[in-house]
Amino acid sequence: MDFRQNYFELFGLPVSFAVEQVVLQQRYQELQKSLHPDRHAAASSQQQRMALQYATYVNEGLATLKSPLKRAGYLLQLAGLDVRSEANTTKDVNFLMQQMEWREALQEANAATDPFAVLNSVRDEVGQARDGLYQRFVSAWQQGDADSLAQAHECHRQLQFMHKLLDEVDAMEERLDD
């Protein structure tokens, strides 16, 4: 396979933030029906090795295009930006302040009379802010010039914080459930 083919091409989808999930799943299954190592279990070890690599690449493609956060990062990568670098962290002070407030609210949730209510309200607020960031990301990415892409990159950095926070809300709810 041409590993230079990007994931959108691999799945026969247009390069876009909006991905029709049903179509993605359907294409994915079609690809795996011919590439998965199970389809080559009786073949030579060479072909098995190849099937392993291909199926892995298709799985990575699915994981990337399925998750909005990964998809956003991937679009930036295709546009030539380095989204993986360690030094890649937001310097937006207001944003960081807001993050700290949410985190404090979460910590206090443990002691609250109705911790689930606190969790839900944090979840709603963060969720709204996240959705706003995605909108800003999409329009900046669509503009496509260097400045706009830098803005899209900043949105992506902040989105990573948002998703991490939402994961923590879920983890906390899990602990409270048990």
Partner 1 sequence: MLLQISEPGQSPQPHQSKRAVGIDLGTTNSLVATVRSGERVTLADEQGRDIVPSIVRYAETGIEVGEVARAAMAIDSENTLSSIKRLMGRGIADVDSSTLAYQLEASDSGMPYVRTRAGLVSPVQVSAEILKTLAMRARASLGGELDGVVITVPAYFDDAQRQATKDAARLAGLQVLRLLNEPTAAAVAYGLDEQAEGIIAVYDLGGGTFDISILRLHKGVFEVMATGGDSALGGDDFDMAIARWAVTQWQLPEAELSGRDWRLLLQSACAAKEQLAQHEDVQLQPALPGIESTLVLTRQQMSHLLDGLVQRTLRACRKVLRDAGISAQEVKDVVMVGGSTRTLYVREQVAAFFDRQPLTSIDPDKVVALGAAAQADILVGNKRDADMLLLDVIPLSLGLETMGGLVERVIDRNTVIPAARAQEFTTFRDGQTAMMIHVVQGERELVSDCRSLARFELRGIPPLAAGAARIRVTFQVDADGLLSVAAEELSTGVSSSVVVKPSYGLSEDEIGSMLKASYQFAEVDMAARALREQQVEADRLLEALDSALEADQTLLSAAELQAMREDMAQLLTLRQQTQDHTALSAAIEALSQSTDYFAARRMDRSIHDALAGHRVDEF
Among 7, 24, 35, 130, binds partner 1 (CB under 8 A): 35
Residue type for position 129: A
Q: Contact region for partner 1 (CB under 8 A) — 38-46, 98-106, 113-121, 136-144?
A: 38-46
Among 114, 145, 147, 174, binds partner 1 (CB under 8 A): 174
| For partner 1, the closer CB: 42 or 97 | 42
Asked whether position 31 contacts partner 1 by CB under 8 A, the answer is yes
Asked whether position 177 contacts partner 1 by CB under 8 A, the answer is yes
Asked whether position 80 contacts partner 1 by CB under 8 A, the answer is no
Asked whether position 43 contacts partner 1 by CB under 8 A, the answer is yes
- Helix 68-78 with 146-177: angle, nearest 10 deg: 160
Residues that bind partner 1 (CB under 8 A): 1-2, 9-14, 27, 29-39, 41-47, 50-52, 54-56, 59-60, 62-63, 170, 174, 177-178
